[in-house]
């Protein structure tokens, strides 16, 4: 049986066998275990070296962003709650941790490595 692994949204998908090992931050993982409860990859998808501005994103754009970032399961919570770009920019840490009803670990990663940087970038771009 072959498994498909994608370590970042910018890399090409590759096939790997279940017995093949992957090393992440010095820890060895097997198969797709690293994505079972959230993504091990915390890099944000970027456009030309900058974070995208989600102010005009539709719900599907938000969902696709988190799927591309490796949060396949958690992206559905944004769909269920109908979170568009403007709503995403208004989300607090508490909204992400409790309002989306997703596991704590992935929720923390989503907020710290994605929502917060997108909010910061949006503020920098619109307060000059």
Q: pTM score, two decimals? A: 0.64
Least confident segment among 22-36, 80-94, 114-128: 22-36
Q: Provide the strand spans (E) within 6-97.
A: 14-16, 21-24, 27-30
d(CA 87, CA 109): 18
pLDDT at 25 over 90: no
pLDDT given at position 117:
96
Q: Phi-psi category of 101—alpha, beta or left, where left has phi over 0 and alpha has psi -120 to 50?
A: left
CATH class of 38-126: mainly alpha
pLDDT given at position 49:
67
pLDDT given at position 19:
43
At 26, list the tokens: 């010095």
Higher pLDDT, 77 or 34: 77
pLDDT given at position 48:
61
pLDDT given at position 10:
41
Section 12-36 average pLDDT: 42
């Amino acid at each position: 049986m072959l498994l498909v692994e994608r370590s970042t949204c910018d890399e090409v998908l590759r096939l790997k066998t279940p017995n093949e090992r992957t090393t992440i931050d010095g820890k060895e993982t097997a198969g797709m275990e690293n994505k079972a409860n959230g993504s091990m990859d915390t890099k944000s998808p970027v456009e030309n070296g900058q974070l995208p501005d989600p102010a005009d994103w539709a719900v599907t754009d938000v969902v696709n962003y988190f799927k591309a970032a490796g949060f396949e399961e958690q992206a559905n919570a944004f769909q269920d709650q109908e979170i568009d770009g403007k709503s995403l920019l208004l989300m607090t840490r508490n909204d992400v941790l409790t309002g989306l009803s997703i596991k704590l670990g992935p929720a923390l990663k989503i907020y710290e490595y994605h929502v917060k940087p997108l909010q910061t970038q949006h503020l920098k771009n619109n307060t000059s």
